[in-house]
Homo-oligomer: A and B are copies of this chain.
Amino acid sequence: MAVIRIAVDAMGGDHAPHEVVKGALQAAAAERDCEIILVGQEEVVRKEIDAISPKTPRNVSIVDAREVVTMEDKPIAPLRTKRNSSIRICADMVKEGKADAMVSAGQTGATWTSARMRLGMIEGIERPALAQVMPRHLGTTLLLDVGANVHAKPEHLREFAVMGHSFSQVILGVKEPRVGLLSIGEEEGKGNDLTKETFRVLKESGLNFIGNAEGRDIFNGHADVIVCDGFVGNVVLKASESLSEMVWTSLRYELSRNVVRKTVGGLVKPFLSNLKKRMDWREYGGAPLLGVKGGCIVCHGRSNAKAIKNAIRVAHEFVENRIDSRIQEKVNEMHALEVDRVASSESSELE
């Protein structure tokens, strides 16, 4: 297996550059077949590395990028006014074959725009989508789009379903992923204009479409892949993360209110570490942006070192399994099916 090169935006995120560099160094130690390129203001990044490690690990390097995209910048900034920003240079490196994938905890809009415009799109896909792995009691559900497309058309949701199907098969190991459409009410007629029209499109898609999925189906195992527009997906994702954080805060509180509770809490703690890990978004590291060529992992703005380390792991898996190629194959296969379907319906009309 060749070395996998990952460009990491060292300047992106609420806790950059410190936590990003720290997470990148942890990933470099854990994934020895990974080459990590930290992209950012060289002297700043160098200082962070030196503060953590006496010697720069051999699989870590720095590429200088003078500008930084902030939350106030427009998503288009890396393409127009900030061409020397770390996000833009990460994207350029993937485009030019100097890196296999990029990871950024910077502004989602700017990352998304840079990846889409610089990396280019998989043929047959118009819109990339952010895909998030959501925990279930047993297994996981893939939810997409969780924030790349505020508005989406039925055709885009069909694209998300195709891409989610591939990701679920290849990375999550689901043999025949059940695809649901996020809506309200199970019946076909339920939902808003977008979901009603998308229902018809997905029914004819040739995918294993199980119909409308309600909010509860994200966590109960009725579907493996659930598609929605990026507005709804983002609201649900953030609400879920916050709810699970709230539960743990309350659990800690209930188990520390007096000496007896503290003692019992201490006993129970190790038994809950598995569950805590499964509920912690930092463990999932980042959401892959499906649909672009190469790989692009979008991290939470609040990412700490652990989240960055895990995002680099996700990028590694993404490249290793050639997800973009697998999506391209699936798109081609679906296209061939569609051509057959149209041809056969036309020939039956002629008969």
Contacts and interface: CB of A to CB of B under 8 A. Distances in A.
Interface of A: 71, 135-137, 147, 150-151, 182-184, 187, 191-193, 214-220, 228, 230-232, 234-247, 249-251, 253-255, 261, 264-265, 267-268, 271-272, 274-275, 278-279
A251 B272 contact: yes
A264 B264 CA distance: 7
B271 A242 contact: no
Contact of A244 (B151, B235, B243, B267): B243
Given A215-B237, A215-B240, 9 more contacts: A137-B249, A150-B191, A184-B230, A191-B231, A220-B245, A251-B275, A255-B271, A264-B267, A265-B268
Contact of A250 (B234, B240, B265, B275): B275
A219 B243 contact: yes
B192 A151 contact: yes
A235 B214 contact: yes
Contacts of A215: 234-242
B236 A236 contact: yes
Contacts of A241: 215-216
A247 B184 contact: no
A151 B241 CA distance: 26
Nearest to A189: B74
Nearest to A231: B192
B275 A271 contact: no
Which 6 pairs between the two chains have the least Cβ-Cβ distance? A215-B238, A216-B242, A215-B239, A215-B235, A219-B242, A184-B234
B271 A264 contact: yes
Contacts of A235: 182-184, 214-215, 228, 232, 235-236
A105 to B, nearest CB: 15
A27 B217 CA distance: 31
A240 to B, nearest CB: 5
Nearest to A278: B250
A239 B242 contact: no
Contacts of A137: 246, 249-250, 253
Nearest to A239: B215
A146 to B, nearest CB: 10
